[in-house]
Structure 1
Amino acid sequence: MSIFTRAFKRESVNTYIKADSHMSRVLTTRDLIGLGVGTVIGTGIFILPGHEAAQHAGPAVAVAFLIAAIFSGLSGMAFAEFSSAMPVAGSAYSYGTVIYGEIIGWLLGWSLILEYFLAVSAIATGFSAYLGNLLTIFNIHIPKALMSGPMEGGVINLFAVLIILLVTVILSRGLNASKKIENGAVILKVAILVLFIVGGSFFIKHTNYVPFYPKEFQTGIGGLGGLSAATASIIFAFLGFDTIAAHAAEVKNPQKTMARGIIGTVIISALLYVLFSIVLTGIVNYKKLGVDDPAAFALQSIHQTQFAVVITVGALIGMFTAILALIYASSRLTYSFGRDGLLPRSLGKISAGSHLPVNALILAIIIESIFAGLIPLNTLANLINAGTLLAFMFINFGILILRRRKDLSHDGFKVPGYPVIPFIAGVISFILLTQLPSETLELFAVWVLIGIIWYFAYGIHHSKLS
């Protein structure tokens, strides 16, 4: 067997199911929606609507969120079908290995692990900034040395590290305790967002919606350059529904539950994002919204300072739930690599007492803590989108192969409009990927190259498929 043929060797679904049999199937549809909304409604809703309105779309940012939601929904259905047919840990990594071959699965997983690690670190950094701003309201000032890493003139971003460690303690208590805390925090966060949407609607000035899509953003083909750039950036906001697929090995009745969890997450998140954006750009002119806390800024501009504190608390809760869900997903993906031998096999062990991949969890939080504590991630944020869009593209096109595999027939959820819808979603994924900045694509190419080198130097020799 040539090394090329070996690299594209496919794994059996039954092998994965047997390997994951030690994990407890305890998650319900409500738990999955809690995890999904907990991730999706995180930093994105409290930062992105303002930034994208000011820089790319104006009040039409609400349309960009709606387009991103529709696209995410299409890709979400593909993930839902895969997780119904293959209720195993690993998300796109495991699906890619079964459908395309091990090297493609590895590169998809390699891209997603970058997405998860950077997302946790970026959100933890945002949490630290919001908490620092909240403390200043009460005249508590934290030294800059403890609020930023050495590349920003500080020593360590202490709060960013501490929130990751706090979440790890919660996760280490087991799945039942974690999901209760996550579900409760998500309900509180959504309540605060609804309060902003309803309360803020009374302060909307319709003149702020004119022009709805400003001329300065009407570039590119059909004048849609600004809108497409905003949509490509906003994909980050919907990071989360794909992480649900990482938990398929711990879900009750995955053939039905996975689809309900993923699609429910997309619908709820889309509704909140679009309404939030409409109210935000109605309260304040879009030109003034290029700040890191646009919702609090908007409320302060209409002299609702006390309510701005409530929104800040909501942002902190939102980021907390996102960090919890993403660390959860990143540890499961790391476990999958160890399970299959592409990373050291100690990472694929499940603790007998807690039924958790403890070694994988420890590695994930070490890397994420280092990133969050020492490295400013604003220049790397688009890398998160690159990994996500690559996975979306392969998973959507993968549906075309999945349906033709007689050994993978299933009675669970199936993407409607086959083969048109998954093909269109795959093409859109590719187009959005090309819309990312050139420096982002260059950095992502370097990451993929490192993954290829690791695979041929280590993974292919230690993989269970060998």
Structure 2
Amino acid sequence: MSKPSFWQRITHKPDVESTLNADHQLARTLTTRDLIALGIGAVIGTGIFILPGTVAATTSGPAITLAFVLAAVVCSLAAMCYAEFASALPVAGSAYAYGSIVFGQLVGWVIGWALILEYMLAVAVVSTSFSAYFASLISGFGLHLPQAISGAFDPAHGTYINLIAVLVILLIGSMLSRGMNTSMAVNRAMVLVKLLIIGIFVVVGAFYIKPVNWHPFMPFGVKGILAGASLVFFAYLGFDAVSASAPEVKKPQKTLPRGIIGTLIIATILYVLVAIVLTGMVKYTHLNVADPVSFALNFIHQPQLAGIIAVGALAGMFTMMVTMIYSSSRLVYAIGRDGLLPKWFGEVKNQLPHHALTTVTIVIAVLGGLVPLTQLVNLVNIGTLIAFAIVSLGILPLRKHEQIHNPGFKVPGYPVVPVVSFLFCLLLMSQLSKETWMMSLIWFGIGLLIYFAYGFRHGK
């Protein structure tokens, strides 16, 4: 039997049957409610308290509500593609696994490498925001953290470690290592706190709406709505993390599409409600501030509610980190299971991928605690858009795959919807800065070195 060629090895597609059976050691405990809590946990973070105000002030005016709806419609195209893949292939690894099965090993690795960057950087960045909000909250009680433990390693400015960022990441990693039942109970409780606080703002704020603040409704015209939609599109990122839970979900063919699409619908309703109330309470021209929701509450002389909003922001960031640490550990587990990273990462103990989870937690804690991340935030967006683009295009070979029978959810409007979704992802990628592209090329260069040095020879 002749040895496979270089091309055959990098385009090798795993056997579907064995991939579907590969995760039998993981416990199936998650329900639709758990998945929507995971999704809402990832999508609704601090952005809901900031984006509606700043984008209304600078780009869209009160028509920010239409920008959120438009962004959600576009995002739903990619969400439907994810939902079909999750229904057809309920396996660990999310877009990494989908790309491997329909396009081959190298494409799968590139997506996996993009997602490792997206998830880990996103958590590290949010952990530093969590630390800042926490410091702000306790300062209201006259408590202050020593400067040395309040920022990334920068001796010139007197900071050595962001201790709160490290501790919250280690806390979440420890919680996830105790099993999904405990983790989901805590996550659901935090999501409820967050939703309750958003609800309080919407209900209280509704009594202070002045319709005159909505005029003119479209001060920047249609162009402002389109520009606003491209900015707030990134507020919806995170729903894709739901698909990482596939092997731990009860009845995945029904539950996963419901979790993905349900997350997007609920997130859209919440963003639009906050945008309507916020721009009705305060003239949009005043909202270009760091904390527009707190500003609006102070404006209507309700400063005590601004403190509650800070608690909501902390809950939002906590649940986002839970979802992303969970998802990144399952991604690293799946890549290790397939041999593209050391098999140690793919080992399962007590129905959990402990090695992958421990490694991910430590790496993110180091990033969040010691590394200045301001220049790297946009890399989260490019990693996500690459995964969205390949998953969208992947629907075409998925439908033709001989081994895959999918009686569950299918993208409506095939093949137009997947192609439109792919093109829109390319359009958004073209809007990212040159610096972002340069940094991402360096990241993918490192990824290809690792693939050809290790994964190419060890991949199953």
- Return the TM-score normalized by structure 1: 0.94
Maintained 8 Å contact 2:16/2:403: no
Provide closer, same or farther for how the CA distance between residues 285 and 377 of structure 1 changes in structure 2, counting only shifts above 3 A.
farther
Q: Which amino acid aligns with 1:126?
A: S
Tell whether 2:425 aligns with 1:429: yes
Residues in 1 aligned to 2:174 and 2:189: alpha-carbon distance in whole angstroms? 17
- Return the TM-score normalized by structure 2: 0.95
Which shows bigger deviation, 147-156 or 276-285? 147-156
1:185-220 CA-partner distances (Å, limit 9, x unpaired): 1122111111111211222233433343444xx6xx
Residues in 2 aligned to 1:364 and 1:229: alpha-carbon distance in whole angstroms? 35
Maintained 8 Å contact 1:335/1:347: yes
Quick one: which of 330, 333, 356 aligns to 2:331? 333
1:333-352 CA-partner distances (Å, limit 9, x unpaired): 0111111111111111111x
Provide closer, same or farther for how the CA distance between residues 58 and 371 of structure 1 changes in structure 2, counting only shifts above 3 A.
farther
Match in the other structure for 2:121: 118
Tell whether 2:401 aligns with 1:373: no
Match in the other structure for 1:183: 188
* Paired residues for 1:284-363 under 5 Å: 284-351=282-349, 353=350, 355-363=351-359
Match in the other structure for 1:460: 456
Maintained 8 Å contact 1:232/1:433: no
Residues in 1 aligned to 2:443 and 2:294: alpha-carbon distance in whole angstroms? 36
Which shows bigger deviation, 326-335 or 157-166? 157-166
Which shows bigger deviation, 430-439 or 289-298? 289-298
Maintained 8 Å contact 1:53/1:286: yes
Maintained 8 Å contact 1:197/1:275: yes
Quick one: which of 386, 389, 412 aligns to 1:416? 412
* Paired residues for 1:162-181 under 5 Å: 162-181=167-186
Q: CA deviation at 1:229?
A: 4.2
Quick one: which of 137, 143, 152 aligns to 1:134? 137
Provide closer, same or farther for how the CA distance between residues 389 and 369 of structure 1 changes in structure 2, counting only shifts above 3 A.
same
Tell whether 2:14 aligns with 1:11: yes
Provide closer, same or farther for how the CA distance between residues 67 and 10 of structure 1 changes in structure 2, counting only shifts above 3 A.
same
Q: CA deviation at 1:123?
A: 1.3
SS at match of 2:200: helix
Match in the other structure for 1:160: 165
Match in the other structure for 1:70: 73
Provide closer, same or farther for how the CA distance between residues 68 and 79 of structure 1 changes in structure 2, counting only shifts above 3 A.
same
Q: Which amino acid aligns with 1:281?
A: T
Quick one: which of 444, 449, 453 aligns to 2:440? 444
Give the alignment's Cα RMSD to 1 decimal: 1.7
Maintained 8 Å contact 2:153/2:372: no
Maintained 8 Å contact 1:96/1:104: yes
Q: CA deviation at 1:42?
A: 1.2
Which shows bigger deviation, 259-268 or 64-73? 64-73
Residues in 2 aligned to 1:112 and 1:285: alpha-carbon distance in whole angstroms? 39
Residues in 2 aligned to 1:360 and 1:322: alpha-carbon distance in whole angstroms? 19
Fraction of identical pairs, as percent: 49
SS at match of 2:313: helix
1:266-306 CA-partner distances (Å, limit 9, x unpaired): 00001001111222222233343333322122211221111
Which shows bigger deviation, 43-52 or 367-376? 43-52
Maintained 8 Å contact 2:77/2:421: yes
Residues in 2 aligned to 1:265 and 1:2: alpha-carbon distance in whole angstroms? 43
Q: CA deviation at 1:445?
A: 2.1
Q: CA deviation at 1:265?
A: 0.5
Tell whether 2:109 aligns with 1:106: yes
Q: Which amino acid aligns with 1:279?
A: V
Q: Which runs of 5+ in 1 are unaligned?
A: none
Residues in 2 aligned to 1:293 and 1:165: alpha-carbon distance in whole angstroms? 28
Maintained 8 Å contact 1:148/1:373: yes
Q: CA deviation at 1:228?
A: 4.1
Tell whether 2:204 aligns with 1:206: no
Q: Which amino acid aligns with 2:93?
A: G
Q: CA deviation at 1:373?
A: 1.1
Provide closer, same or farther for how the CA distance between residues 379 and 49 of structure 1 changes in structure 2, counting only shifts above 3 A.
farther
Q: CA deviation at 1:375?
A: 2.4
Residues in 2 aligned to 1:63 and 1:172: alpha-carbon distance in whole angstroms? 41
Q: CA deviation at 1:141?
A: 1.7
Maintained 8 Å contact 1:185/1:321: yes
Q: Which amino acid aligns with 1:272?
A: L
Q: Which amino acid aligns with 1:363?
A: T
Quick one: which of 388, 394, 406 aligns to 1:398? 394
**Matched residue pairs, number?**
455
Q: Which amino acid aligns with 1:149?
A: A
Residues in 2 aligned to 1:180 and 1:234: alpha-carbon distance in whole angstroms? 30
Q: CA deviation at 1:235?
A: 3.0
Q: CA deviation at 1:131?
A: 1.0
Match in the other structure for 2:258: 260
